[in-house]
């Protein structure tokens, strides 16, 4: 798993979604609400969300170190 930090310019983005594969996704309607939409076999919308993810990924400044911590 890789964690990225967005630049200040992109931190206003409130897109909340998870891409499961190239045809399934989960998308929250609003960041402050628990309501969401889960879709299977919606290739067109999943491609649109993948493009949005790529746009957001281009606005990252660096990766955040995510190391496994032990007790």
Tell me if 68 is assigned to some domain.
no
Tell me if 3 is assigned to some domain.
no
Q: How many CB atoms lie within 10 A of CB 30?
A: 10
Instruction: Give me the pLDDT at residue 69, please.
Output: 67
Find how far residue 24's CA is from the centre of its chain.
13
Tell me if 4 is assigned to some domain.
no
Tell me if 53 is assigned to some domain.
yes
Instruction: Give me the pLDDT at residue 46, please.
Output: 95
Q: Report residues of the chain scoring pLDDT below 50.
A: none
Instruction: Give me the pLDDT at residue 34, please.
Output: 86
pTM for the whole thing?
0.74
Tell me if 23 is assigned to some domain.
yes
Selection from 20, 26, 15 nearest residue 55 by Cα: 15
User: Cβ contacts of residue 16 below 8 Å, gap of 6+?
Assistant: 27, 28, 30, 31
- Residue 31's domain comprises 14-62
């Amino acid at each position: 798993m890789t964690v990225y930090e967005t630049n200040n310019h992109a931190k206003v983005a409130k897109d909340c979604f998870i891409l499961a594969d190239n045809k399934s996704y989960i998308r929250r309607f609003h960041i402050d609400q628990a309501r969401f939409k889960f879709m299977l076999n919606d290739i067109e919308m999943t491609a649109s969300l993948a493009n949005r993810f790529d746009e957001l990924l281009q606005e990252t400044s660096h990766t955040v170190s995510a190391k496994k911590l032990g007790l």
